[in-house]
Amino acid sequence: MNDDLLISDDRDTMGRFLKKTKEQSVASFISRIEKTESCWLWKGCLDKNGYGLAYDQKKGNTGLAHRLVYTLLKGHIANGLVLDHLCRNHACVNPEHLEAVTQKENVRRGESYWRNKDVCINGHQYVGTVNKRGARVCRPCANERNREYQRRKEMSNV
């Protein structure tokens, strides 16, 4: 096989991968990036969470576009680290908007549905009480659960 020919993520009308030169593959990859004032938006395929997907020719499988761009332009991502989108735009592949951090740090920095809620499922305001595991606790609901537990405990002792 000719080393200059690579399998690309482009397909013919029958769904077969087209062979392209390395230069054509790079140009095809770059054509899927739309540079805005701040972000570089991936215009290729996106996954269900909005992250760009691209064919990684070295590994021979589909990978996350922001990881491919980061690796190409900034270098290797150390084991145990993930890329945090500092701009909070999952489709962004701008390496200046990506930082290699631990998964724990990425989750801590992220926008969480539960962290942003200010009322519990029963409509009580969260007052800021946190349990041993770091989760928020609704004090009125916790008190009600405790009273119900005590009632059941007394009934079983009778």
75 and 124 in one domain? Answer: no
Q: Do 101 and 151 belong together in one domain?
A: no
Full residue range of the structural domain in which residue 10 is found: 1-31
Do 94 and 144 fall into the same domain? no
The tally of domains found in the chain comes to 3
pLDDT at 156 over 90: no
Phi, psi (degrees; rounded to nearest 5) at 70: -60, -45
Same domain, 20 and 49: no
Q: Which range is least confidently modeled, 7-11, 115-119, 150-154?
A: 7-11
Burial of 28-43, coded b for 16+ CB within 10 Å and e otherwise, reads: bbeebbeeeeebbebe
Based on the domain organization, do 138 and 107 belong to the same domain? no
The reply to whether 51 and 79 lie within a common domain is: yes
The model's pTM is 0.60
Q: Which region holds residue 134: left if phi is over 0, alpha if psi is between -120 and 50, else beta?
A: left
- What is the rounded radius of gyration, in angstroms, for the C-alpha atoms of the chain? 24
DSSP H/E element including 114: helix 113-116
Average pLDDT along the chain: 82
CATH of the domain at 82: 3.90.75.20
Share of residues in the chain with pLDDT > 70 (%): 82
Q: What are the tens digits of pLDDT across the range 92-143?
A: 999 999 999 999 898 888 776 666 677 888 888 887 677 777 777 888 888 9
Residue 1 DSSP one-character state: -
